[in-house]
Amino acid sequence: MDINEDRINRLRLGAITAIDGLWFLAVERKIGFEGAFELDLEVWKTYGIVQLKRLARMLDIPIEPGRPPDLVTINTLIDALCRVDGTECSWEMLDADSSVFRVHSCPWWDNLCASGRSELVNCEVVDNTIFRHWLEFVDPALGMEITHSIPRGDDHCEWTLRRRPA
């Protein structure tokens, strides 16, 4: 038997979603769905900030208050953050201050569907809350609007990101 690096990486990806799901279910049993959902959002907001800081250090990208990176760099960071958990995404620039970010395949949505909880958890609320928090950490002038959503029946999720004028 060979447990090669590819298999280990697949186990790592599965471990992230498994730990999150198991943690959520344990908290839900103790304090109910609404309390668990609220805590889950806080955990994911913080997780993203920690990972963004790590990615920025790894890529030697300064993240400094009042001096946000350009939107290409921000999309690159968010793309890498999403790919850590196996999410397949892409992005394109519309102009210097706006872009489109797409999620083509989402292990979190797949797990919600497989567990029969896709109607219970409002995926858009989760994504919009944590995604907005992560973007505002990097650049408080960034706004976003969801335009496509897998839970609504689209074949991908999509957000338009725009830097608001100063």
pTM (predicted TM-score): 0.88
Which residue segment(s) compose the domain that 91 sits in?
5-163
Number of domains in the chain: 1
The CATH number of residue 158's host domain is 3.30.1380
- pLDDT, residue 23, reads 93
- pLDDT, residue 108, reads 87
Largest CA distance in the chain: 59
Where the chain has pLDDT below 50, the residues are none
- pLDDT, residue 2, reads 80
